[in-house]
Amino acid sequence: MSNKKHIKMTVNGEEQEFLAEPRELLIHTLRERLNITGPHIGCETSHCGACTVTLNGKSVKSCTVFVAQADGADITTIEGLGNPDSLHVLQESFKEHHGLQCGFCTPGMITRASKLLEENPNPTEEDVRFGMAGNICRCTGYQNIVKSILAAASEMNAAKEAAE
Amino acid sequence: MIPAAFEYYRPKDMAGVLSVLQEHGDDARVLAGGHSLIPMMKLRMAEVPHLIDLQDVEGLGGISVDGDTVRIGAMTTQHDIIDNAALAAAAPIMREASLQIADPQVRYMGTVGGNVANGDPGNDMPGLMQCLDATFTLVGPDGERTVEARDFYEAAYMTDREDDEILTAVSFKAPKGGYAYEKQKRKIGDYATAAAAVLITKTDGKCSAASIAMTNLSDTPIWSEAAAEALVGTSLDDAAIAAAVAAMLGDIDPTDDNRGPVEFKRHAASIILRRAIETAWSRA
Amino acid sequence: MNKELTREERADALGGMGCKRKRVEDARFTQGKGNYVDDIKLPGMLQGDFVRSPYAHAKIVSIDASAALALDGVVAVLTAEDLAPLGLHWMPTLAGDKQMVLADGKVLFQGQEVAFVVAKDRYIAADAVELVEVEYEELPVLTDPFAAMESDVVLREDLLGEGGSLPDGAHGPRKHHNHIFTWEVGEKDATEQVLQEADVVAEEMVYYHRTHPCPLETCGCVASMDKVNGKLTLHGTFQAPHAIRTVVSLISGIEEHNIRVISPDIGGGFGNKVGAYPGYVCSVVASIVTGVPVKWVEDRMENLMTTAFARDYWMKGKISATKEGKITGLWCHTTADHGGFDACADPTKFPAGFMNICTGSYDIPTAYLAVDGVYTNKAPGGVSYRCSFRVTEAAYFIERMIEILAIELNMDAAELRRINFIKKEQFPYQSALGWEYDSGDYHTAWDKALKAVDYDGLRAEQAQRVEDYKAGKTRKLMGIGLTHFTEIVGAGPVKNCDILGLGMFDSCEIRIHPTGSAIARLGTISQGQGHATTFAQILATEIGLPADSITIEEGDTDTAPYGLGTYGSRSTPVAGAATAMAGRKIRAKAQMIAAYLLEVHDDDVEFDVDRFVVKGAPEKFKTMKEIAFAAYNQAIPGIEPGLEAVSYYDPPNMTYPFGAYVCVMDIDVDTGVTEIRRFYALDDCGTRINPMIIEGQVHGGLTEALAVALGQEIAYDDMGNVKTGTLMDFFLPTAWEVPNYETDHTVTPSPHHPIGAKGVGESPHVGGVPCFSNAVNDAFRAFGLRHTHMPHDHWRIWKTANGLGLHG
């Protein structure tokens, strides 16, 4: 289309540059332009959180951000949290505690949880439920998601203590 | 859900914002956090040929607490509000209300400016601002002006703001006494079925001043002067609270929707207000 | 040297049935490397998007696509006129009706597909949709099935015979032009007589509102016609890939061997992804027309408004009993709102699914059920949302009727259930409505549940609460929700269960590799249930190779054996049985190989965990790993090389999982806000394959039940507009609204299933909905409430309380 804009952004540590219509939604930029398909499209009205990414240090629903708004932004998706040789503690913890079933909400869920634990390393169960309330899961009933996040918090804290 | 194409602007200063607004009139809209506007654009219920992103505009952020004067820049997010210790001390009702807005991700993006300027009756900040007797600062081609929150809202999505103006800040005196923001909603992420903002000052065991505003119970927020007056001078006995609730019910005008019929909403409003008054009084 | 492992250690090393094996699926999902349909990107792929009707009932006067076609990047705009020459403007439904693929002269529900735009990307497609001009002429709208049965307005002119006559439908005679079928089971006269002679009869209309499965991933597909080789590949969100292949072949004329259907990872199904939708047909046609791949993925609003609603059953019931509380008869007449087309996903011979399981867990000697299907101006569907066919409706009906009967008898509802349960020794039990329940021990489960929650204590607390309420000390009431459900799952025996003529067997094919690992392929498809984990556990136990050495593959019709897919909790009962049976074929051949290697007679070796041992000489053995290698490297007289097997399992009967649930709920009488204080769920799904996964299924099913009971609905206004089209209004609870659940179990194996497993995925939903609803109803029992309809959202609860005079 006509009014394409030059966009620059850093995604999972890699610089990306391209031309895009400003109206392009960030979730489509990630998924279709950059082939980063971890974040998913669930509701499209900013209710479900399946598209959650970390944008300039905030948990954001990328279905409700125009690519033009993210020009210059630093973005982390599930793909940037861990890799097959070294998973993020949360990735391990979700596996360990059966914190997922169909897997569709999982990338957004873990990405959001990583930010939650960054801001609150010692959450109570209530903190986790409240802090994760922007992410909908249809399969698990949340019980094991909450368990996974609390367990990850303990593990991260133990690792921190051991390092000190 | 794909929005229609638009021209995008990201000015660095207010002059840049104003020039686009002046050129395109109501074909132009400003974008703050975007979590009200973007879904409407995606559903193609809002047509915005010219979109002005405010994120780079100087001077729109920040929370300042100076003596008893609080000023919050329009681009301040609900997350910022929740996170700000000085604000929490000066006006704890701001934090209490912000925690009840939407969900964590939306609160990282949702701004005070967007919430108050949009004119959506479902938004929580407008009622809260009326309760706090806040003043809005608007900047337009003719310079800056202020307008009282209590005079700002005309109808759903209709406010005193001109098409070529933008709302840059809200300010209010740090409230004294007890406070409460009580909200009934169906789930996280929902608008209020009924919400009440209440401030009460207690002097010698009696209510010396009060302010009450209701959310999502009319096409504008409702600051109920009569409800507050019913409390002043009393020791908030049952009769006084009942009188305040009755006065509030005289001021609201809810409509049927998926949250329930009018009858229910009026009942919920009375319960929520009663609880908010009781909580505020207990904190006064 | 390795130390000799004990038998138990060897069994543990296999990771077989009964252990909490971690899921093999999770590595990719936790890293964002799942492969869902919208992740699929093929070279040159176009994007499809629908023009949909804003009206619920209207004539199409004209469609003008010229402006859309003029838009740069738009490749085609298909309408019914374009599909008609191919005979594809209508398609058969699973229920024996037909459905418009694109509006053929009229529309019957809001959101109906009118035209299909194909463009270079989804942005251009969306712009083009706005440019297609459709002129409609509005027609009177029927949203109420009772009114529809009285109305002169004809919704389906296509079903009228000559002179406006009413030819029979797929399920027999039709009573009215908006009537679809009548389905009757049981003894009408005898039941009516029993009711007449009974000491006590309770009567109630129980409405199970319209809702939607709403998996987090919507429906979609990528159709790719390879014109060079004449092959069609269809990736999509299909809960039954083989059935989709057959359907596509039948309606498109492409020979079945030239069609490859692939279900990639599926982001939840819950019944939403069983049916065939216009988007699939249009994508296939568009790919055939354009010669390039075409993707269609619905958005959330389209999903909620058009693909596969669930329930919408008006169940009028009468239940009779002696004054001591022994149930004597059950009568039910259901008016089923099917929307504009009958697209229910049920086995052919069951137009109301297994609604005739509505006698529940009770020994009811005489019963009668009639169901009338009705057309209205609503979306078609009627899928089983996390349940076997209409089993949720049946369980809700009987569990509400029991509670109402308890009120009528002035009895405790737990005791009423206890005295009417089918007894352990009555199994296999013939129900009055025609089912043979395989096994059960209801009294044990019930007593365990009531003891676990201290039922008597709860009732005492509740009584105190009522006193406190009356004394003005509290405004919160306490509800105790009880449910004892019996499901019927695992459809099903080919003799009476088919879909579009395809028998509902399922299958498993196993190949053992020379080094002692294996691949097994099934006719099912996981949507989060963890098949790759649990089916490997079944095999590990059956064939003695470690689960970690067994790959499970599903969803590719070119490689998997034919099967009917995953829904109705049928995977474990049917494909799980096929897996065990195929495993046993492997084992039988392995036995011969082992005997040869050990130089003894076949009958002189026996299977022992992971090996065959010489009877009486356990030090002489061959491990399955050794046997696998021998199968490929030894010339064994009379035995073919290789080690493979396939089984097609036709179950002799359904399975009948059951459970006992208790919910404790506090209700704010003034705001209608509910709080789940406690939820205890005891499930008996027979043999337990993986307790961790079972528990996860229970948590999830209960949460979906909570949503349905407490607010989730597809609501229409009188004009047929959908009022709940986004997740703002369609209730999906978040972590904040959901409690922690207590899970428990008893084990009553299915006697006819090879491993005794019954299936569990849907139990918590089937049992959960009535349990939550009963808790709400129970809270108001002391104030004279008999029954209040779901969904129990705030305003409806408030209205109930208001109607009982609880607001002063």
Q: How do residues C363-395 score in pLDDT, each as one tens digit?
A: 999 999 999 999 999 999 999 999 999 999 999
Answer yes or no: C387 catalytic.
Answer: yes
Q: Are residues B164 and B225 in the same domain?
A: no
Cβ neighbours, 10 Å, residue C162? 6
Rg (CA), chain C: 28
Domain of B267, CATH number, reads: 3.30.390.50
Helix and strand element counts for chain C (H, E): 20, 33
Q: Would you state the structure tokens that stand for residue A43, as one six-digit string?
A: 């509701």
User: With a CB-CB cutoff of 8 Å, which residues 167-206 of chain B face chain A?
Assistant: 188-189
pLDDT band at C93 (very low <50, low <70, confident <90, very high): very high
| Torsion of the alpha carbons at C388, C392, C393 and C396, rounded to the nearest 10 | 150
Q: Say how far residue C763 (Cα) sits from the centre of its chain.
A: 10
CATH 3.10.20.30 fits A5-80, yes or no: yes
Chain C, 72 to 131: residues with Cβ < 8 Å from chain A are 121-124
* Residue C546: cis peptide before it, omega within 30 degrees of 0: no
Residues of chain A with CATH 1.10.150.120: 89-163
- Give yes or no for residue A1 having a pLDDT over 50: no
Q: CATH 3.30.365.10 in chain C, residues? A: 7-34+506-649, 309-491+654-803
Q: Is the dihedral of CA B53, B58, B64, B69 positive or negative?
A: negative
Flag whether residue B271 sits within 8 Å of chain C, measured between CB atoms: yes
Enter the DSSP assignment of C545. Answer: S
* Contacting residues of B for C706, CB less than 8 Å apart: none
Find the catalytic residue in C47, C99, C110, C239: C239
Confidence class for position C4, pLDDT limits 50, 70, 90: confident
pLDDT digits (tens, 9 = 90+) for C408-434: 999 999 999 999 999 999 999 999 999
Q: For chain C, say whether B140 makes contact (Cβ under 8 Å).
A: no
The answer to whether B260 contacts C727, with C-beta atoms less than 8 Å apart, is no
Q: Which of B10, B55, B188 sits opposite A133 (nearest CB)?
A: B188
Indicate yes or no: CB of B2 within 8 angstroms of CB of C737.
Answer: no
What pLDDT does A164 receive? 86
Average pLDDT value for residue range C485-514: 94
The string of DSSP codes covering C64-89 is: E-HHHHHSTTEEEEE-HHHHGGGT-S
Across the interface, of A23, A46, A131, the residue whose CB is closest to B5 is A23
Give the pair of three-digit tokens for residue C545.
């190779």
**A3, pLDDT greater than 90:** no
Give the CA dihedral C562, C568, C571, C574, nearest 10 degrees: -70
How many CB pairs lie under 8 A apart between chains A and C?
176
What pLDDT, in 10s, does the model give residues B226-246?
999 999 999 999 999 999 999
pTM (2 decimals)? 0.97
Q: Are residues B263 and B216 in the same domain?
A: yes
Per the CB < 8 A criterion, the answer to whether B221 and B121 are in contact is: yes
Q: Is C762 a catalytic residue?
A: yes
**Separation of alpha carbons C536 and C760, rounded Å:** 17
* CATH 3.30.365.10 matches C7-34+506-649: yes
> What is the C-alpha to C-alpha distance for residues B180 and A15, in angstroms, rounded to an integer?
47
**C496-532 burial code (b ≥16 CB/10 A, e <16):** ebbbbebbbbbbbbbbbbeebbbbbbbbbbbbbbbbb
| Cross-strand bridge partners of residue B145 | B138
- This complex has an ipTM of 0.98
Instruction: Fill in the amino acid letter for C124.
Output: I
% of chain C beyond a pLDDT of 90: 97
Residues B220 and B167 placed together within one structural domain of the fold: no
C771 labelled catalytic: no
Contacts of C529 in chain A (CB under 8 A): 101
The number of distinct structural domains making up chain B is 3
Which amino acid is residue C304, in one-letter code? L
B265 in a structural domain:
yes
Residue count (chain A): 164
List of chain A residues whose C-beta atoms are within 8 Å of the C-beta of residue C693: 98
Of B135, B156, B173, which residue sits at a domain end?
A: B173
Quickly state the pLDDT bin for C1 (edges 50, 70, 90). Answer: very low
Whether residue A138 and residue C732 make contact (CB cut-off 8 A), yes or no, is: yes
Tokens for B281, please give them: 């009084």
CA distance C262 to C295: 14
pLDDT in tens, C6-49: 999 999 999 999 999 999 999 999 999 999 999 999 999 999 99
B113 and B186 share one domain: no
Q: State the nearest Cα–Cα gap between C723 and chain B, in angstroms.
A: 8
Q: Are C508 and C520 in contact (CB under 8 A)?
A: yes
Cα dist. C647→B247, C489, C506 in Å? 75, 20, 8
Given its phi and psi angles, is residue A46 left (phi above 0), alpha (psi -120 to 50 degrees) or beta?
left
B2 to chain C, any CB pair closer than 8 A? The answer is yes
Helix (H) / strand (E) element for C799: namely: helix C794-803
Residues 6+ apart with CB under 8 A from C89: C80, C81, C83, C100, C101, C102, C104
Q: Using CA atoms, how far apart are residues A50 and A39, in angstroms rounded to an integer?
A: 6
CA–CA separation, C278 and C108 (whole Å): 14
Structure tokens at C333: 């007449």
Whether A127 has its CB under 8 Å from any CB of chain C: the answer is no
CATH topology for C37-141+218-266+274-306 is Aldehyde Oxidoreductase; domain 3 (3.90.1170)
Does any CB of chain A come closer than 8 Å to the CB of residue B16?
Answer: no
Is it the case that residue C740 has pLDDT exceeding 90? yes
Give the chains touching B; criterion: ≥3 Cβ pairs < 8 Å.
A, C
| B104/A contact by beta carbon, under 8 A | yes
Q: How confident is the model at residue C500 (pLDDT cuts 50, 70, 90)?
A: confident
B2, part of any domain: no
| Partner residues linked to C22 by β-bridges | none
Gap between the terminal Cα atoms of chain A: 55
pLDDT, position C2 = 55
Q: Token pair of C14, please?
A: 């296999």
Only one residue has tokens 């849907």, namely C762
**Chain A contact set for C700 (CB, 8 A):** 101, 138-141
Q: Averaged over B110-135, what is the pLDDT?
A: 97
pLDDT at residue C569, as a whole number: 85
Task: Kindly report the number of other CB atoms within 10 A of residue B24's CB atom.
Answer: 18
Residue in chain C nearest A130 by alpha carbon: C736
Q: What is the predicted pLDDT for the residue at C146? A: 98
- Which among B173, B190, B218 is the end of a domain? B173
Report CA C738 to chain centroid distance, whole Å.
Answer: 22
Tell whether B108 lies on the interface with A, counting CB pairs under 8 A: yes
In the CATH hierarchy, which top-level class contains the domain C309-491+654-803? alpha beta
Query: Is there a single domain that holds both residue B135 and residue B87?
Result: yes
Q: CATH classification of A89-163 is 3.40.50.2000, yes or no?
A: no
Alpha carbons C485 and C657: distance in angstroms, whole number: 8
Question: Which residues of A, range 21-60, sit inside 8 Å of C by Cβ?
Answer: 21, 23-24, 28, 31-32, 35-45, 47-48, 50
How far apart CA C36 and CA C39 sit, in angstroms, is 5
In C145-238, which residue ranges form alpha helices assigned H by DSSP? 145-148, 188-197
Give the domain range for residue B44: 7-53
Q: Which of C386, C400, C521, C688 is catalytic?
A: C386
- For residue B37, the chain A residue with the least C-alpha distance is A64
Catalytic site includes residue C197: no
- Average pLDDT for residues C244-263, to the nearest whole number? 94
A contact test, residue of C22, C24, C28, C30 with most A CBs within 10 A: C30
Look at residue A131 and give its three-state secondary structure. Answer: helix
The minimal CB distance from A102 to the residues C27, C124, C267 is found for C267
Contacts of C28 in chain A (CB under 8 A): 103
Residue C156 confidence class, pLDDT cut points 50, 70, 90:
very high
Check if C271 contacts A (Cβ < 8 Å).
no
Contact flag B6-A22 (C-beta cutoff 8 Å): yes
Identify which of B10, B34, B188 has the shortest CB distance to residue A65. Answer: B34
Average predicted confidence (pLDDT) for chain B? 97
Contact C731 B259 (CB under 8 A): no
Q: What is the pLDDT of residue C222?
A: 98
Instruction: Using CA coordinates, name the residue in chain C closest to B265.
Output: C795
All CATH 3.90.1170.50 domain ranges of chain C, comma separated, are 37-141+218-266+274-306
Tokens of C605: 């070796």
CA distance B188 to chain A (A): 7
Closest residue in A to B108 (Cα) is A58
The continuous run of DSSP H or E covering C665 comes out as strand C658-668
The per-residue pLDDT for A5 is 96
Range scoring the smallest mean pLDDT among A95-109, B42-56, C560-574: C560-574
Q: Which of B38, B40, B187, B217 to mutate to test the interface with C (most CBs of C within 10 A)?
A: B187
Smallest CA–CA distance, residue A29 to chain C, in Å, is 12
**Of B5, B43, B258, which is closest to C715 when you measure between CB atoms?**
B258
3-state SS class at C787: coil
The A residues from 54 to 83 touching B (CB cutoff 8 Å) are 58-61, 64-66, 68-69, 71
**Record: contact B39-A59, CB cut-off 8 A:** no
Active-site option among C19, C221, C358, C387: C387
SS (H, E, C) C347-364: CCCCCCCCHHHCCCCECC
Q: Would you say residue A2 has pLDDT above 60?
A: no
Chain C residues whose C-beta sits inside 8 Å of any chain B C-beta? 122-123, 125-127, 130, 299-301, 670-673, 711, 715, 723-724, 727-729, 731, 733-734, 736-737, 793-795, 798-799, 802, 807
| Sign of the dihedral defined by the CA atoms of residues A94, A100, A103, A105, in that order | negative
How far CA C459 is from CA of C476, C673, C782, in Å, comes to 15, 21, 12
Distance CA A104, CA C417 (A): 40
Q: Which of A30, A53, A109, A138 to mutate to test the interface with C (most CBs of C within 10 A)?
A: A138
Cβ <8 Å between B188 and A134? yes
B267 in C contact zone (CB under 8 Å): yes
Q: Report yes or no on B58 lying in a domain.
A: no
